[in-house]
């Protein structure tokens, strides 16, 4: 048995790959600043592409991390006991109602691995966060996409109708990425009251801390009522810790115990655990970030109104703007040193802009005006 069979490795192993993986298109992340700098010979690039916190984490987090660098030769606490206890206390829950993950992305994958098989259906809003469909495809489940209305708000009646006897999991993303549109508590309750009580509903609340609307979803209330609802949260957004990768789910302890079975033993690293503990304790900083983001939203609303560009009202830290040809505007802006995001399925006319600092927003708006006028 020689190795030189003349057949390339790729052709020998392709038949071994699980069939459903062939249909998965790779995730396209926001472009890194360094890539854009070197491609276009730019010295100063603003990245408003990945809904990160432009101010970074609380300074207290950075100080704690410096201290913790001495401990990185040790494995993390696999059960993340202190962190889960702190998250639970913040929400008035027991630690068993908290499961942590390597970013919300991992939680979405774990949910898929726990519950989905070939033939199962997953109901997702469309357009929404791509990872829901990715997780379903990895497991060979069937994705049922429910289009948002023309105004990019949820169509709750259509969501209800799309749940069938094969549905195991529904994602509701609020505020929704990439539109910024949101659900009220009453809408979610209406939905939950009309679907079978054994369907798991994952409420992705990655941007919850930015919400300033008067009737946000009260996911904890729904969990306490004994519904199979999970609230997915992350430290990547308002807490400014996207690079450390830390997400968590809140829900029924026994439901989470099933998900815990597919969790890797040390899925959340030492630095992420320390950072999150300190970040949670600094809620003043969180409030400050929420205020700054709200000012940023207003800055965009005012300038976009002046420019005559329509946009989707947002409760998140990004705004979806109708520019006519999203990819062309994205490309033109990038050449001038501002990275935004375009190319979302079903949203070819739009770019999504993450809300940055006042100066970053001003530069973005200036560049947007220049390229739109061209
Ligand atoms: C709606 C939504 N959920 C989850 C995530 C992933 O967050 P994390 O960085 O925790 O994996 C994002 C990231 O952009 C998001 O927009």
Asked whether residue 223 falls in the same domain as residue 294, the answer is no
Span from the CA of 104 to the centroid of ligand 1 (angstroms): 6
| DSSP helix/strand/coil, 268 | coil
What is the predicted pLDDT for the residue at 5?
74
In this prediction, residue 2 has a pLDDT band, given cuts at 50, 70 and 90, of low
Task: Tell me which residue of 184, 191, 187 sits closest to 315, measured CA to CA.
Answer: 184
Contact indicator for 257, 99 with CB cutoff of 8 Å: no
Categorize the per-residue pLDDT at 355 as very low, low, confident or very high, splitting at 50, 70 and 90.
very high
State yes or no: pLDDT of 185 exceeds 70.
yes
Q: Of 175, 192, 163, which Cα lies nearest the Cα of 129?
A: 175
Kindly give the number of the ligand 1 atom that is closest to the alpha carbon of 178. 16
Boundary residue ending a domain (281, 304, 339): 281
179 CB under 6 A from ligand 1? Answer: no
- 301 CB burial (10 A radius; 0-12, 13-18, 19+): middle
pLDDT digit string (tens) for 112-129? 999 999 999 999 999 999
- C-beta 236 within 6 A of ligand 1: yes
121: left (phi over 0), alpha (psi -120 to 50) or beta: beta
For residue 1, being part of any structural domain is answered with no
How confident is the model at residue 1, as a pLDDT? 60
Write b or e for each residue in 52-79: b if 16 or more Cβ atoms lie within 10 A of its Cβ, otherwise e. bbbbebbeebeebbeeeeeeeeeebeee
Residue 249 has pLDDT above 80, yes or no: yes
Angle of CA points 75, 76, 78, to nearest 5° = 110
Alpha carbon 306 to its chain centroid, in Å, reads 30
φ/ψ of 72, rounded to 5, equals -80, -5
The domain spanning residue 261 has which CATH number? 3.40.640.10
3-state secondary structure of 75: coil
Looking at the structure, tell me whether residues 276 and 256 fall in a common domain: yes
CA of 239 to the centre of ligand 1 (A): 13
* Domain containing residue 43: CATH number: 3.90.1150.10
Atom of ligand 1 nearest to the CA of 247: 10
Per-residue pLDDT at 246 exceeds 70: yes
The domain tally of the chain equals: 2
Q: Is 104 in the pocket of ligand 1 (CB under 6 A)?
A: yes
Residues 147 and 260 in one domain: yes
| Residue carrying the six token digits 């709750």 | 156
Q: Is the Cβ atom of 247 under 6 angstroms away from ligand 1? A: yes
pLDDT score of 25? 86
Mean pLDDT of the chain: 96
The mean per-residue pLDDT over the stretch 342-366 comes to 97
Task: Taking residues 194-216, report their average pLDDT.
Answer: 96
Is 324 contained in some domain?
A: yes
Quick one: average pLDDT of 249-260? Answer: 98
Q: Tell me: pLDDT of 320 over 80.
A: yes
Question: What pLDDT does 214 receive?
Answer: 87
Q: Report, as an integer, the average pLDDT of 204-218.
A: 95
Which residues span the domain enclosing 198? 59-281
- pLDDT in the model for residue 370: 96
pLDDT of residue 26: 82
Residues 152 and 235 in one domain: yes
Same domain, 99 and 172: yes
The answer as to whether 220 is a domain residue is yes
Does 4 fall in a domain? no
Of all atoms in ligand 1, which is nearest to the CA of residue 50? 14
Question: Do 257 and 320 sit in the same domain of this protein?
Answer: no
**Cα 173 to averaged position of ligand 1 atoms, centre (Å):** 10
Report, as an integer, the average pLDDT of 9-13.
92
Task: Dump pLDDT digits (tens) for 270-284.
Answer: 999 999 999 999 999
pLDDT tens for residues 24-70? Answer: 888 878 788 999 999 999 999 999 999 999 999 999 999 999 988 98
> Same structural domain for residues 304 and 256?
no
Ligand 1, atom nearest to 105 Cα: 11
Residues 6+ apart with CB under 8 A from 52: 236, 237, 240, 242, 354
pLDDT for residue 4 is more than 70: no
Separation CA 153–CA 61 (nearest Å): 36
């Amino acid at each position: 048995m020689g190795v030189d069979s003349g057949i390339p490795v790729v052709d020998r192993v392709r038949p071994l790959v699980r069939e459903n993986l062939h249909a998965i298109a790779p995730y396209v992340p926001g472009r890194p600043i360094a890539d854009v700098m070197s491609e276009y010979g730019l010295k100063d690039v603003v990245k408003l592409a990945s809904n990160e916190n432009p101010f970074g984490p609380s300074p207290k987090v950075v100080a704690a991390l410096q201290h913790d660098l001495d401990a990185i030769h040790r494995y993390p606490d696999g059960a993340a006991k202190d962190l889960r206890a702190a998250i639970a206390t913040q929400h008035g829950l027991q630690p068993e109602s908290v499961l942590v993950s390597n970013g919300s992305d991992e939680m979405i994958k774990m949910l898929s691995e726990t519950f989905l098989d070939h033939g199962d259906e997953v109901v997702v809003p469309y357009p929404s966060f791509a990872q829901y469909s990715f997780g379903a495809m990895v497991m060979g489940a069937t994705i049922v996409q429910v289009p948002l209305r023309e105004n990019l708000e949820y169509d709750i009646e259509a969501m209800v109708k799309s749940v069938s006897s094969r549905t195991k999991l529904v994602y509701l993303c609020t505020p929704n990425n990439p539109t910024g549109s949101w659900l009220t508590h009453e809408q979610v309750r209406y939905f939950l009251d009309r679907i079978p009580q054994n369907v798991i509903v994952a409420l992705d609340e990655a941007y919850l801390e930015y919400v300033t609307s008067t009737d946000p979803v009260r996911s904890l209330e729904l969990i306490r009522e004994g519904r199979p609802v999970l609230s997915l949260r992350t430290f990547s957004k308002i807490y400014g810790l996207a690079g450390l990768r830390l997400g968590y789910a809140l829900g029924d302890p026994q439901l989470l115990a099933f998900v815990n079975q597919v969790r890797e033993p040390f899925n959340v690293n030492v630095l992420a655990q320390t950072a999150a503990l300190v970040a949670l304790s600094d809620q003043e900083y969180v409030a400050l970030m929420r205020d700054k983001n709200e000012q940023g939203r207003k800055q965009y609303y005012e300038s976009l109104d002046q420019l005559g560009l329509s946009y989707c009202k947002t409760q998140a830290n990004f705004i979806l703007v109708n520019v006519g040809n999203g990819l062309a505007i994205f490309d033109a802006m990038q050449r001038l040193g501002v990275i935004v995001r375009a190319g979302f399925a079903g949203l070819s006319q739009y770019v999504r802009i993450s809300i940055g600092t006042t100066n970053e927003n001003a530069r973005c708006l200036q560049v947007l005006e220049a390229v739109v006028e061209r």
